[in-house]
Amino acid sequence: MTDPLPFIDAIIQYLIVPAVVWVWMLHKTQSLHATDIAVLRAEANARDVARKEEREATAAQLDQILTMLQTINGRIDGVMVKGKDR
C-alpha cells in the first residue's frame, strides 16, 4: 500500500499554496487600485466644486459690471436728453 502523504504534500505545495498567494496578491492589488480610484474621484469632485464656485463668482462679477454699465448708460442718456431740451 502506498502512502498518500507525499501526494497530498505535492498538491499543497504546487497547487494550493500558489493559488492562495495569487489570490492574496490579487486582493492587495485590487485594494490598492480601489484606494487610488477613491482618491482620484475625491480630487475630481474637489475640482468640480472649485470650478462651480469660480463660475458663480465670475457670473456675479459680470452682473455687477452690467449693472454699473446700465447705470452709466442711464446717466449718459439723461444728460443727452437734457441737452436736446435746451
pLDDT at 23 over 70: yes
Q: Closest Cα to residue 16, out of 27, 8, 28, 5?
A: 8
pLDDT at 59 over 90: yes
The mean pLDDT of 12-33, rounded to a whole number, is 95
Q: Domain locations in the chain?
A: 33-86
> What pTM was computed for the model?
0.58
Contacts (Cβ under 8 Å, ≥6 apart) of 39: none
pLDDT at 15 over 70: yes
Collapsing DSSP states into helix, strand and coil, what is residue 1? Answer: coil
State the Cα–Cα distance between residues 39 and 25, nearest whole angstrom.
21
Q: What confidence score (pLDDT) does residue 85 get?
A: 56
Q: What confidence score (pLDDT) does residue 2 get?
A: 73
